[in-house]
């Protein structure tokens, strides 16, 4: 097979990072080429360069044997390159149809030729099995449909090289299978696919070859049939992966925290949590497994006072908490590592010291009389925590935006753990962190457990759930669909629960697709 | 627009200076268009605004209301809000102050004057709370609402000054305030009055409030990252409303100073765009109280000098308005000035 | 009672409403262009003022009001270009840039008025665009008195509304413009030049506002006066919002505001202080934005400069 | 910057009101009187056009300090500034137009007008000339000084023609000719065939409406008859030029005296123009009656009350 695409010595620098460091990569015509690597390893950057959205600082692109300059997406489109972005590039108030044709509109003297185009779009979606309602507004269709729409967009532009950037991250397992069907279909028709993912399982299932990036460099390219899981994992992280966290067996004490029959709506008013009940004991970690978007975040936000609960009871040490506000919850000694540190956890423009008091800023010793801050106490607090949690650099006056993700997360953890929480919520606590930072955070979480905190761990990473939790509950479509001690859990069992497998049986033939309200 | 912590960095000090120089250079083109000598015009402008006690007093007097409106805009901005309603707020504030200033006779000055000032601040604060509330509770962008409320304030005060509170003479103004409500003149004949002292106090108070109190911490947190603030137990809506109320109260002081310290009565549409110039002042002062002071003094000097330039040269005084607009543009176009400075450094 | 009503609402009042709505219509179309592309334009007032001035000036020196119209269009476009350079290229806060433009316009028009005519208030009279009578419409009862005879720019404004609607919702460029205002990055990824689109949109926005100003100085009237726009740029902005960023919506709102003003002239006889009537457009806009008349949602990307990397 | 000052040449400084020169009204009239005096008496004349109330005092003061022999402040907005200047410079000679607030100051001459008397004449003319028995009045803002024009006009119309209807409208702005025009058109459509304005720049719109719809307008302050020749019946002259000229003359003759100088019909301070473009339109008997009325006002047989009595 010949190379349809060759990237040579591509380098891209961002302030403070070399996102792509002399990457050379060959893509063969008609193959499915997986591109893997940890968060921040440079996958998206490389593909954005190929698509003309970023311009490389150095390096060359050869397309079908010819040296090609791609500085604008337009050029990529003209060269038959299509890309489905990690974060969808859809114009929400426009219709599906308008999104498909946008930028490549069939026209008669400037007017959009609606009729001709509609036929073409219908044909494409039939041919490739990409079911989407073309007349609907994008904001009204499901995520799965949005993704199919993205692929349709690329095909409509006659792409024969299709880049899929982490397409499975937002999909249910069933939708993933469907996507793989489409990919195989496309491959049969001669389309070359570059497929980005974090999940080794998916690489092994669908790709012909796989390239691994680490910290902006290409580690290597393998034929999928000639590699295996441990080898890929090691290539990705640069050493053998330590999957288990060392910890003692839990010594659960009194029941500290409970949720019963909780129902929550999101900001749009859709019911996302549909009757969840949980209990957590002192010194115990309850892991919540589940594909993201199944109500975990709404549940956590209801517990922490950021969203209102429609119904249900939340208690800490017997006292009811439901619908207290965030400040009142904080004062009950509940710690919370939020899922998105940039959105929720930190004020990036504040310095470390000011971030270290967020949420405690109304309490002594940080304020004196007349609302005046006690600068000494604030500094002392930050200085102590920075040392204890090994935040680097240990400069408490520095703006938090200038710290790396791992160190930012340490700042959040330090703050949330510092006031001896009785109950701790850790939501995706290690997202986007490197192995070193992950280990550190994991140790701290176990440490809190051993000090007697009750911990609710929410994570999309099964590895993390399995290695930290003492008990595991699986959440699916706003309900707990299964619960077990960690000893009885394994990936397969959790995986099938996460897909709603057993839940489907319980609810008598409901399909996954029709679960929307 | 990136905000820094409580002190200004050297770049934040340099960009405004470069912007002012650029604006003066472009202004020189306009002077050349009308066939005058830019150097001479600028000499007249600045020697009559910055040299000599009288000039300085005049400049400071003109800077006083701009300090208030500049602080008002900057304060709201720290909470992530764009208050372009300072103009309307200062009108209602001035009206409230004057009503108190003319009605309560027989009070000693120590009571009457603060009462008038506080009435003005309350009115401005309440006026500004409306867009604040609409933003906090319904998510309506404050920019449009503050613009709309400027117009409503014009018409409302037009009505009050020619209707219920008309001074009885045949001019669109209220009666004179009682002497007990006057802000005393500091350096007669200059109209510089104790308003400048209030302004400087306001600078200090705003500084302390923003960086040394827990309420300021909350406002800044909401300004930088409302969702994170919310996570930290800080009420976004309460702080937004509070920030707008404070901002409106600060803005109203500009009107209060003009009325109680300069005009002695409410005159219909008395403000020469003090509220809008406050945006420029805040911007030029990098939304920092100390920066606001210097920016207000510069603008005060420009206005003072413009009068002299008009009297002594043939350059139309609107030149200064043009320069002020250019300063706003250049300060806001940080990227432009940064590029220029980098090029210089390389050269 | 009926007579009473007819006194306040009749063909002549409606015709006046249409005349008074015209500058608002033109300028609000300009607002739609800019804001649909994601750029806030509170500089409409200033752009109008410069358009009014240049229209007068060109007509004064050439004696040709049609050239005046083109002059106003170009001057407005130039102000639009300034706004585009500032807010698109240099990522100046769009509200700040608009404010600067308003201040600049107030200064530069009087500066030039003084320099060229040696006056600060009102320019000399210039020739203006013709009033035309539409032959057939003219004779229809009821409609005729309202629509039959107007300055040609009144008809132009109405035609422009239709054209803007077709442009936005039926043409390729309209679709692209809207996508840029909602999600510029998505537009970028399908090969649409976000910067160019915004530049053009803001330039057209300024040109439209320039026309709105020209209506005042060389169509409705035949001279320029200091600050003669008298806040109409802001009312046009309000009309655009009240009309939910759609051409026909803005048209409706402009007509409503024009109508309020026309009726107000007669209501003055009832002794209602005119100030309260003058507040109406502004209050209505706030009410509309607050969602009491169906939520007015601005384009999503509005106010945010596009950063490519 | 004025011409070279000769030794012992008298220097006069004029501080204009906001709006400045070119208003074809108030400021221009003052300017006319001042230049006339300059030419007649060979004085040195300098002036400024402030754009902000607060700054007026600075100009007055600067003129005093630079040794000007007389400082004339145009407009009531200057009174609080002048109050301070009068106090600080007891030897300075000061004058203020349109304000008697400083009547008791020993060094301030207050130049005020009986606008109601002049407006009475305008009203009388309108009342006699109207063929529709309806006349109009367009005011700038609803401010007391304009009420004075209105009331005099009403009395005049009433005196001439007790059955006539008088339509009154206010534009809410002195600088919005667009609204001025619509107000006039609206009055025309309600039957008015003569419209008097006291609306500054807004009045330009009244003239344009008169021109377009072929009715008569009456100008104000200065001789505005030539703005639309033949369409402006007359102007109610408020002879600011006379007042300014006279006070300069007083100075030159060494007869300057403080206190109130009130200009009414009797001393030619207010009155109508000589119908430079409309002489042929006005029947002689009306002209003669106007003269009679004038005498009656002078003699006190007709007492025109002002809005402030
Ligand atoms: N626009 C940008 N400006 C600055 N830095 C950037 C930008 N985009 C990416 N980076 C940085 O470049 C590096 C590579 O990012 P990239 O998005 O390519 O990673 P990735 O492999 O796609 O990660 P993920 O798996 O999380 O999607 C990261 O350090 C990232 O923070
Ligand atoms: N889109 C972006 N735009 C601007 N700066 C970015 C962007 N993404 C990341 N950065 C900056 O790049 C730097 C690296 O960020 P990144 O998210 O890659 O950290 P990280 O790789 O997760 O950190 P670590 O590897 O230490 O855990 C940070 O300073 C971050 O603020
Ligand atoms: Mg990362
Ligand atoms: Mg990525």
* β-strand partners of A163: A83, A194
Residue A512 has pLDDT above 50, yes or no: no
Average pLDDT of chain B to the nearest whole number: 90
**Stretches in chain C below the pLDDT threshold 70:** 1, 293-296, 309
B123 vs A475: CA distance, rounded Å: 53
| CA-based nearest residue to A338, from A413, A231, A444 | A413
**pLDDT score of B204:** 97
Q: Which atom of ligand 1 is nearest to the CA of A432?
A: 26
C58 vs B189: CA distance, rounded Å: 47
Chains C and A touch (3+ CB pairs under 8 A): yes
For residue A466, report the phi and psi dihedrals to the nearest 5 degrees: -70, -35
B343 vs C36: CA distance, rounded Å: 36
Per-residue pLDDT in tens (0 to 9) along chain D, 309 residues = 444 445 578 999 999 987 667 666 678 889 999 999 999 999 999 888 887 787 788 889 889 988 999 999 998 889 888 988 999 999 999 999 988 888 899 999 999 999 999 999 999 999 999 999 999 999 988 777 888 899 999 999 999 999 999 999 998 888 899 999 999 999 999 999 999 999 988 999 999 999 999 999 999 988 889 999 999 999 999 999 999 999 999 999 999 999 999 999 998 899 999 999 999 999 999 999 999 999 999 999 999 988 766
Binned at pLDDT 50, 70 and 90, residue B343 comes out as low
Q: Please tell me if the CB atom of residue C307 comes closer than 6 angstroms to any atom of ligand 1.
A: no
Considering only the beta carbons, identify the residue of A51, A94, A103 that sits closest to C192.
Answer: A103
Contact B310, D49 (CB under 8 A): yes
Judge: C265–D183 Cβ closer than 8 Å, yes or no: yes
**pLDDT score of A505:** 40
Structural domains of chain A, with CATH: 3-237 (3.40.50.300), 244-333+423-428+452-517 (3.40.50.300)
Q: With an 8 Å Cβ cutoff, is C61 touching chain B?
A: no
Residue A244 has pLDDT above 80, yes or no: no
Centre of ligand 3 to C-alpha A198, Å, is: 13
Least distant ligand from the CA of A38: 1
Judge: B145–C278 Cβ closer than 8 Å, yes or no: no
Q: Whose C-alpha lies nearest to ligand 1, atom 19?
A: A40
Q: Measure in Å the smallest separation between the Cα of B68 and chain D Cα atoms.
A: 17
For residue D73, report the phi and psi dihedrals to the nearest 5 degrees: -100, 125
**pLDDT score of D195:** 97
**pLDDT score of C80:** 98
For residue C272, report the phi and psi dihedrals to the nearest 5 degrees: -75, 125
SS3 B264: coil
Identify the CATH number of the domain defined by range C2-290. 1.10.3470
**pLDDT score of A514:** 31
**pLDDT score of A507:** 38
Residue carrying the six token digits 């790396």? A404
Label residue C171 left, alpha or beta by phi (over 0 means left) and psi (-120 to 50 means alpha).
Answer: beta
Contact B212, B204 (CB under 8 A): no
Binned at pLDDT 50, 70 and 90, residue B6 comes out as low
- Residue A487: CB atoms within 10 A of its CB come to 9
Angle CA(C196)–CA(C202)–CA(C206) in degrees, nearest 5? 145
**Count, residues in chain A:** 517
Binned at pLDDT 50, 70 and 90, residue B98 comes out as very high
| CA-based nearest residue to B256, from B80, B105, B85, B123 | B123
For A212-225, the pLDDT digits (tens) are 998 889 999 999 99
Binned at pLDDT 50, 70 and 90, residue A296 comes out as very high
Q: Which atom of ligand 1 is nearest to the CA of A46?
A: 18
C278 vs C264: CA distance, rounded Å: 8
SS3 C275: helix
For A248-263, the pLDDT digits (tens) are 888 888 999 999 999 9
- Which region among A386-390, A409-413, A420-424, B333-337 has the lowest average model confidence (pLDDT)? B333-337
Residue A513 has pLDDT above 60, yes or no: no
- Which region among A59-73, B3-17, B213-227 has the lowest average model confidence (pLDDT)? B3-17
CA dihedral A416, A419, A420, A426 (to 10 degrees): -10
- Scanning D43-99, the segments in alpha helix (DSSP H) are 53-65, 79-88
Contact C238, C70 (CB under 8 A): no
* β-strand partners of B19: none
Residue A239 has pLDDT above 70, yes or no: no
Domain boundaries, chain C: 2-290
Q: Please tell me if the CB atom of residue A430 comes closer than 6 angstroms to any atom of ligand 1.
A: no
Centre of ligand 2 to C-alpha C78, Å, is: 40
Judge: C289–B134 Cβ closer than 8 Å, yes or no: yes
D279 Cβ partners below 8 Å, 6+ apart? Answer: none
Partners of residue B215 in chain A, C-beta under 8 Å: 371
- Residue B333: CB atoms within 10 A of its CB come to 26
Judge: C40–B316 Cβ closer than 8 Å, yes or no: no
Considering only the beta carbons, identify the residue of C114, C221, C266 that sits closest to D181.
Answer: C221
**Count, residues in chain C:** 309
Chain centre distance of CA A319? 34
Bridge-based pairing of strands A309-316 and A479-485 is unpaired
B212 vs A359: CA distance, rounded Å: 16
Residue to probe by mutation, ligand 1, list A12, A19, A167, most atoms within 8 Å of CB: A19
Q: Which helix (H) or strand (E) holds A444?
A: helix A435-450
Contact D91, D72 (CB under 8 A): no
For residue A16, report the phi and psi dihedrals to the nearest 5 degrees: 90, -15
Residue carrying the six token digits 């809506």? B237
Kindly identify which residue of chain B lies nearest to residue C83, measuring between CA atoms.
Answer: B329
Partners of residue D172 in chain B, C-beta under 8 Å: 155, 158
Is-cis flag, bond preceding D229, omega within 30? no
- Scanning A270-374, the segments in alpha helix (DSSP H) are 296-303, 326-330, 352-355
Residue carrying the six token digits 């959790």? A494
Judge: A111–C185 Cβ closer than 8 Å, yes or no: no
Q: Whose C-alpha lies nearest to ligand 2, atom 2?
A: C309
Contact D155, D203 (CB under 8 A): no
Q: Please tell me if the CB atom of residue C269 comes closer than 6 angstroms to any atom of ligand 1.
A: no
Q: Which helix (H) or strand (E) holds A272?
A: strand A271-281
Residue A444 tokens, joined: 């701290």
C273 vs D172: CA distance, rounded Å: 10
Residue A373 tokens, joined: 């801050």
Kindly identify which residue of chain B lies nearest to residue A361, measuring between CA atoms.
Answer: B214
Counting residues of chain A whose pLDDT is more than 70, the rounded percentage is 93
Contact C155, C163 (CB under 8 A): no
Judge: C238–B279 Cβ closer than 8 Å, yes or no: no
A5 vs A28: CA distance, rounded Å: 7
Task: For CA atoms A484, A486, A487, A492, give the dihedral sign.
Answer: positive
| CA-based nearest residue to A165, from A123, A128, A213 | A213
Q: Please tell me if the CB atom of residue A17 comes closer than 6 angstroms to any atom of ligand 2.
A: yes
Query: pTM score, two decimals?
Result: 0.86
**DSSP letter for each residue of A173-240:** HHHHHHHHHHHHHHHHTT-EEEEEES-HHHHHHH-SEEEEEETTEEEEEEEGGG--HHHHHHHHHSS-
Predicted complex ipTM: 0.84
When pLDDT is averaged across residues A134-157 and rounded to a whole number, the result is: 87
Structural domains of chain B, with CATH: 10-346 (1.10.3470)
Binned at pLDDT 50, 70 and 90, residue A235 comes out as confident
Task: For CA atoms A52, A56, A62, A67, give the dihedral sign.
Answer: positive
- Residue A384: CB atoms within 10 A of its CB come to 14
D22 vs C110: CA distance, rounded Å: 11
Helices (H) and strands (E) in chain A, counts: 17, 22
**pLDDT score of A1:** 59
B60 vs B49: CA distance, rounded Å: 9
Q: Which of residues 53-82 of C touch D (CB under 8 A)?
A: none
Residue carrying the six token digits 């009194």? A254
When pLDDT is averaged across residues A291-315 and rounded to a whole number, the result is: 91
Chain centre distance of CA A237? 18
């Amino acid at each position: 097979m010949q190379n349809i695409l060759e990237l040579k010595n591509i380098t891209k620098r961002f302030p403070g990072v070399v996102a792509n460091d002399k990457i050379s990569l060959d893509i063969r015509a008609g193959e499915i080429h997986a591109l893997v690597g940890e968060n921040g390893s440079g996958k998206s950057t490389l593909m954005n360069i190929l698509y003309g959205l970023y311009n490389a600082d150095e390096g060359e692109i050869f397309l079908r044997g010819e040296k090609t300059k791609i500085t604008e997406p337009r050029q990529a489109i003209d060269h038959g390159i299509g890309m489905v972005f990690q974060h969808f590039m859809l114009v929400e108030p426009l219709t599906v149809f308008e999104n498909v044709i946008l930028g490549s509109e069939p026209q008669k003297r400037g007017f959009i030729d609606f009729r001709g185009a509609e036929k073409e779009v219908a044909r494409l979606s039939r041919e490739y099995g990409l079911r989407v309602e073309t007349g609907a507004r994008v904001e009204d269709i499901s995520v799965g449909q949005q993704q199919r729409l993205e692929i349709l967009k690329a095909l409509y532009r006659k792409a024969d090289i299709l880049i899929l950037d982490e397409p499975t991250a937002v999909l249910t397992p069933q939708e993933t299978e469907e996507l793989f069907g489409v990919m195989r279909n496309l491959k049969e028709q001669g389309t070359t696919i570059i497929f980005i993912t974090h999940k080794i399982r998916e690489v092994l299932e669908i790709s012909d070859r796989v390239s691994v990036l680490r910290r902006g460099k290409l580690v290597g390219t393998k034929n999928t049939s000639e590699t295996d899981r441990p080898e890929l994992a090691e290539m990705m992280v640069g050493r053998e992966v330590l999957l288990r966290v060392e910890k003692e067996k839990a010594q659960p004490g009194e029941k500290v925290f409970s949720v019963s029959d909780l129902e929550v709506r999101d900001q749009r008013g859709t019911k996302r949590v549909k009757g969840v009940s949980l209990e957590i004991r002192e010194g115990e970690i309850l892991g919540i497994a589940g594909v993201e978007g199944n109500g975990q975040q709404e549940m956590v936000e209801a517990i922490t006072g950021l969203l209102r609960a429609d119904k249900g009871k939340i208690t800490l040490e017997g006292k009811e908490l439901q619908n207290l506000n965030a400040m009142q919850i904080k004062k009950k000694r509940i710690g919370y590592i939020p899922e998105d540190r940039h959105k929720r956890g930190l004020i990036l423009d504040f310095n470390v010291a000011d971030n270290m008091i967020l949420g405690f800023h109304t309490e002594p010793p940080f304020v004196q009389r007349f609302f005046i801050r006690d600068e000494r106490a604030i500094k002392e607090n930050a200085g102590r925590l920075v040392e204890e949690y090994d935040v680097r650099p240990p400069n408490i006056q520095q703006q938090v935006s200038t710290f790396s993700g791992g160190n930012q997360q340490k700042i959040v953890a330090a703050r949330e753990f510092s006031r001896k929480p009785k109950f701790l919520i850790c939501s995706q606590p290690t997202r986007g962190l490197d192995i070193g930072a992950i280990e550190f955070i994991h140790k701290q979480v176990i440490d809190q457990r051993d000090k007697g905190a009750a911990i609710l761990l929410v994570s999309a990473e099964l590895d993390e759930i399995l290695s930290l939790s003492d008990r595991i509950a699986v959440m699916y479509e706003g309900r707990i669909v299964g619960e077990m001690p960690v000893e009885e859990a394994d990936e397969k069992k959790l995986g099938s629960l996460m897909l709603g497998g057993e839940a489907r049986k319980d609810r008598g033939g409901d399909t996954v697709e029709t679960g929307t309200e | 627009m990136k905000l820094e912590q409580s002190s200004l960095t050297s770049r934040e000090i340099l960009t405004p200076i470069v912007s002012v120089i650029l604006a003066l250079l472009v202004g020189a083109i306009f002077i050349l268009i009308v066939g005058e000598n830019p150097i001479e015009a600028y000499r007249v402008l600045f020697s009559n605004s910055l040299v000599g006690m009288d000039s300085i007093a005049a400049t400071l007097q003109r800077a006083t209301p701009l300090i208030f409106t500049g602080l008002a805009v900057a304060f709201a901005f720290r909470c992530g809000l764009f208050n372009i309603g300072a103009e309307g707020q200062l009108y209602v504030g001035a009206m409230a102050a004057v009503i108190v200033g003319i009605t309560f006779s027989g009070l000693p000055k120590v009571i009457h004057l603060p009462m008038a000032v506080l009435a003005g601040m309350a009115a401005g604060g309440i006026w500004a709370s409306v867009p604040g509330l609409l933003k906090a509770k319904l998510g309506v962008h404050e920019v449009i609402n503050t613009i709309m409320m400027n117009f409503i304030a014009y018409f409302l005060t037009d009505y009050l000054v020619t209707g219920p509170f008309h001074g009885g003479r045949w001019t669109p103004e209220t009666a004179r305030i009682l002497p007990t409500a006057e802000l005393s003149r500091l350096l007669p004949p200059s109209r510089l009055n104790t308003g400048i002292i209030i302004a400087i106090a306001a600078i200090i108070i705003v500084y302390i409030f923003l960086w040394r109190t827990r309420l300021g911490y909350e406002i800044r947190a909401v300004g930088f990252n409302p969702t994170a603030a919310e996570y930290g137990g800080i009420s976004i809506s309460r702080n937004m409303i509070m920030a707008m109320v404070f901002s409106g109260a600060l803005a109203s002081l500009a009107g209060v100073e003009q009325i109680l310290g300069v005009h002695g009565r409410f005159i219909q549409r008395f403000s020469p765009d003090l509220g809008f110039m406050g945006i420029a002042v805040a911007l030029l002062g990098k939304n920092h109280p100390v920066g606001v002071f210097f920016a207000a003094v510069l603008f005060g000097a420009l206005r003072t000098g413009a009068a002299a330039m008009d009297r002594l040269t043939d350059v139309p005084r609107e030149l200064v308005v043009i320069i002020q607009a250019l300063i706003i543009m250049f300060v806001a176009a940080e990227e432009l000035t940064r590029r220029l400075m980098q090029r210089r450094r390389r050269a | 009672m009926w007579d009473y009503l007819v006194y306040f609402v009749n063909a002549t009042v409606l015709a006046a409403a249409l005349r008074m709505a015209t500058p608002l219509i033109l300028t609000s179309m300009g607002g739609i262009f800019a804001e649909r592309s994601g750029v806030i334009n509170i500089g409409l007032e200033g752009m109008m003022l410069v358009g009014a001035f240049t229209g007068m000036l060109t007509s004064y020196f050439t004696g040709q009001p049609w050239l005046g119209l083109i002059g106003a269009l170009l001057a407005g476009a130039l102000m639009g270009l300034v706004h585009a350079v500032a807010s698109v290229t240099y990522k100046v806060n769009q509200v700040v840039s608009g404010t600067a433009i308003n201040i600049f316009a107030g200064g530069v028009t009087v500066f030039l008025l003084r320099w060229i005519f040696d006056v600060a208030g009102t320019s000399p009279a210039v020739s203006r665009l013709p009033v035309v009578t539409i032959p057939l419409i003219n004779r229809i009862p009821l409609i005729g008195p309202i629509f039959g005879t107007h300055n040609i720019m009144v008809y132009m404004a109405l035609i422009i509304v239709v054209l803007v609607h077709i442009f936005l919702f039926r043409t390729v460029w309209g679709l692209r413009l809207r996508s840029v205002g909602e999600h510029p990055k998505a537009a970028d990824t399908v090969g649409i030049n976000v910067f160019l689109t915004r530049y053009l949109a803001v330039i057209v926005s300024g040109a439209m506002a320039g026309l709105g100003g020209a209506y005042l100085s060389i169509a409705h009237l035949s001279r320029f006066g200091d600050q003669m726009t008298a806040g109409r740029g802001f009312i046009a902005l309000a009309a655009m919002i009240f009309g939910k960023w759609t051409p026909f919506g803005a048209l409706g709102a402009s007509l409503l505001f024009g109508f309020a003003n026309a009726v107000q002239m007669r209501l003055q006889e009832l002794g209602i202080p005119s100030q309260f009537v003058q507040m109406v457009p502004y209050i209505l806009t706030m009410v509309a934005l607050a969602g009491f008349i169906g939520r007015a949602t601005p384009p999503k990307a509005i106010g945010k400069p596009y950063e490519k990397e | 910057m004025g011409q070279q000052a000769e030794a012992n040449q008298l220097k006069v400084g004029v501080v204009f009101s906001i709006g400045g020169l070119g208003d074809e009204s108030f400021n221009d009239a003052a300017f006319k009187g001042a230049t006339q005096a300059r030419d007649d008496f060979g004085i040195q004349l300098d002036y400024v056009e402030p754009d902000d109330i607060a700054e007026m005092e600075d100009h007055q003061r600067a003129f005093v300090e630079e040794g000007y022999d007389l400082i004339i402040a145009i407009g009531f907005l200057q009174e609080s500034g002048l109050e301070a200047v009068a106090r600080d410079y007891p030897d300075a000679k000061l004058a203020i137009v349109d304000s008697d607030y400083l009547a008791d100051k020993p060094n301030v001459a207050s130049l005020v007008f009986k606008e109601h008397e002049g407006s009475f004449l305008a009203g009388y003319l309108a009342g006699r000339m109207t063929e529709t028995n309806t006349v109009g009045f367009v005011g700038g803002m609803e401010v007391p000084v304009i009420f004075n024009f209105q009331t005099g006009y009403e009395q005049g119309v009433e005196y001439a023609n007790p059955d006539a209807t008088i339509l009154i409208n206010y534009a809410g702005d002195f600088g919005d000719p667009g609204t001025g025009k619509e107000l006039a058109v609206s009055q025309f459509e309600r039957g008015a065939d003569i419209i008097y304005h006291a609306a500054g720049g807004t009045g330009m719109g009244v003239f344009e409406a008169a021109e377009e719809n072929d009715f008569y307008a009456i100008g104000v302050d200065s001789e505005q008859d030539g703005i639309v020749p033949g369409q402006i019946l007359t102007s109610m002259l408020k002879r600011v030029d006379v007042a300014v000229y006279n006070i300069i003359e007083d100075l030159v003759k060494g007869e300057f005296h403080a206190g109130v100088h009130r200009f009414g019909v009797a001393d030619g301070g207010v009155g109508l123009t000589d119908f430079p473009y409309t002489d042929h339109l006005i029947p002689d008997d009306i002209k003669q009656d106007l003269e009679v009325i004038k005498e009656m006002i002078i003699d006190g047989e007709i007492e025109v009350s002002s809005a402030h009595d």
